[in-house]
Amino acid sequence: MKVSAQNIRGTSAFSAPNNGAIILTKPDAPVLSVVSASTAGEQITLSWNKVVWPNDGGTPVQTYTVFVSTTGLPGSFTLL
- The total number of structural domains in the chain stands at 1
Domain extent for 48:
1-80
Distance CA 47, CA 80 (A): 15
Distance CA 72, CA 4 (A): 54
The answer to whether residues 34 and 14 touch, using CB atoms and an 8 Å cutoff, is no
Distance CA 55, CA 5 (A): 33
What is the pLDDT, as a whole number, of residue 21? Answer: 67
Question: pLDDT tens digits, residue range 4-32?
Answer: 888 888 888 888 877 666 678 899 999 98
Regarding pTM above 0.85, the answer is no
The answer to whether residues 64 and 31 touch, using CB atoms and an 8 Å cutoff, is no
Question: pLDDT tens digits, residue range 33-62?
Answer: 878 877 777 788 888 999 998 889 888 999
Better-scored residue on pLDDT, 74 or 19: 74
Give me the long-range contacts of 37-41 (CB less than 8 A, separation at least 24): none
